[in-house]
Amino acid sequence: MDPPREESGGIWTGFHTREQAGACLPWVPVSRRNTRRGPAGPGSRPARGPGRPLISPLRPPDSAGRDGGVGGAPSDELCLPLSPRPHPRRSPDGKRKRKSSQCSLKSSMSGYIPSYLDKDEQCVVCGDKATGYHYRCITCEGCKGFFRRTIQKNLHPTYSCKYDSCCVIDKITRNQCQLCRFKKCIGVGMAMDLVLDDSKRVAKRKLIEENRERRRKEEMIKSLQQRPEPTDGEWELIQLVTEAHRSTNAQGSHWKQKRKFLPEDIGQSPIASMPDGDKVDLEAFSEFTKIITPAITRVVDFAKKLPMFSELPCEDQIILLKGCCMEIMSLRAAVRYDPDSETLTLSGEMAVKREQLKNGGLGVVSDAIFDLGKSLSAFNLDDTEVALLQAVLLMSSDRSGLLCVDKIEKCQEAYLLAFEHYINYRKHNIPHFWPKLLMKVTDLRMIGACHASRFLHMKVECPTELFPPLFLEVFEDQEV
């Protein structure tokens, strides 16, 4: 059940109001012939409070009407202060300093006004400009705050009136008699029961926060539901890409049952020293080269099965394949990371540990692929998502030397759009799944660039006869 509702003043809360800015209290012009106040009889003189002068100096002509006072008062009228006021401070040059509360007052008078109020709606208590519906009445910020403080601090029993509760309350005199002001608040209908005590205020704030959080979750769910899913044409493209991947992915979903672990004694005895301080185990390198040729062939076959790729010039096809081959092979290995054995399965058949892959020639590239495998394991990618990720890597229009850059870019955009819509269809539980997955494209591109640099060192340190011809054909002449 919702706690009692307290009317709020919105952005007005905490602003200096007219009655709070003591330095801005208005001066009321009083005629020499009529100095009556309250219920006193005709011709009687006003009560003189302690320390209050009977009359004030003449009002300067340029201050007429300032701060809510009566404008256009003739200069021969006397001015009676409504409350004790200290002498104004003066600067060293003799000029009067204006207090900052005047600026605060002016700034507080302009602000948000609820749409249910008329343009010049007046406070039903004092006649000042109303700011909203407070405690069941249309009031200004000043009267709202006065009423709230009076009830919360139980001040009304302490209020008294010097004029038998007959004071006229308006925006000029509202600060002069708290009792009459409070009685008028009650008289116009302000409800005491709507003012919350501390415990109810805390409960209200808690309920507001809970409602905000609930609305935020509802909006998030609604936005997820409204995200577009693949069109019929995109489903057709997605199916083609998925089939191309499945038909060229060794062992398919049964790779765990069919993998063979590389013996632990291989990859642990480095022989040739690399320029960057890493070692190459030639026996491990020889084992890896046995599976590299079929792995490259599968990547080429995957690309040929994509209709958009086959429509490109032969020169562009070669450039795209050389650029993405290591990236796609790394992706296929990374999605087959096994956290239990801490191995990657290469080409669907050879399970290797981090050090074995590192000493087998890849060096720091091995660390990047293993780290990628660890992070991708949380994404739980299906075959379609892996296939679309490969298609995006393949159709990279920023490869050097391409002829049909615009066409390739449009192809990649088509894959990306279908990919995003498929992610919407899958409804992953990971927050911001799509942008996080796209960042893996950058990681794979970095792996490809790092391997191109590593390949140059391997050619220098390892015997040429150990390199399969297709391996040399794909990775030679790559930009580093």
Q: Is there a single domain that holds both residue 189 and residue 260?
A: no
Q: Does any domain span residue 419?
A: yes
Q: Is there a single domain that holds both residue 189 and residue 239?
A: no
pLDDT score at 370? 94
pLDDT score at 349? 76
Q: Does any domain span residue 330?
A: yes
pLDDT by residue (tens digit) across 215-227? 988 887 776 666 7
DSSP string, 142-177: HHHHHHHHHHHTT-GGG---TTTT-PPP-TTTTTT-
pLDDT score at 383? 93
Q: What is the CA radius of gyration of the chain?
A: 41
pLDDT tier at 118, thresholds 50, 70, 90:
confident
Q: What CATH number did the domain enclosing 369 receive?
A: 1.10.565.10
pLDDT score at 77? 38
Q: Does any domain span residue 187?
A: yes
pLDDT by residue (tens digit) across 357-403? 888 888 889 999 999 999 999 999 999 999 999 999 999 999 999 99
pLDDT score at 340? 87
Q: Is there a single domain that holds both residue 130 and residue 238?
A: no
Strands 132-134, 137-139: pairing is antiparallel
pLDDT score at 14? 43
**Average pLDDT for 110-127:** 79
Q: Collect all residues with Cβ–Cβ distance below 8 Å to 469 and sequence separation of at least 6.
A: none
Q: Is there a single domain that holds both residue 348 and residue 425?
A: yes
Q: What CATH number did the domain enclosing 133 receive?
A: 3.30.50.10
Q: Is there a single domain that holds both residue 353 and residue 300?
A: yes
pLDDT score at 135? 93
Helical ranges in 232-382 per DSSP H = 232-247, 255-258, 282-304, 307-310, 314-334, 354-357, 364-376
Contact present, 140 and 129 (Cβ < 8 Å) = yes
Residue range(s) defining the domain that contains residue 316: 232-266+278-475
Nearest 10 degrees: CA dihedral of 295, 299, 302, 306?
Answer: 180
Task: Give the residue with greater pLDDT, 91 vs 257.
Answer: 257
User: Count of domains in the chain?
Assistant: 2
Q: Does any domain span residue 409?
A: yes
CA 96 to CA 280: how far, in whole Å?
A: 86
* Three-state secondary structure call for residue 351: strand
Last residue of a domain, one of 195, 219, 250: 195
Q: Is there a single domain that holds both residue 184 and residue 251?
A: no
Task: Give the residue with greater pLDDT, 420 vs 274.
Answer: 420
pLDDT score at 319? 94
- Residue 112 pLDDT greater than 80, yes or no: no
pLDDT by residue (tens digit) across 414-438? 999 999 999 988 877 777 889 999 9
Q: Is there a single domain that holds both residue 444 and residue 311?
A: yes
* Three-state secondary structure call for residue 350: strand
Q: Is there a single domain that holds both residue 179 and residue 253?
A: no
Contact present, 129 and 112 (Cβ < 8 Å) = no
pLDDT score at 47? 45
Last residue of a domain, one of 195, 222, 243: 195
Task: Give the residue with greater pLDDT, 244 vs 268.
Answer: 244
Q: What percent of the chain has pLDDT over 90?
A: 42
pLDDT score at 466? 81
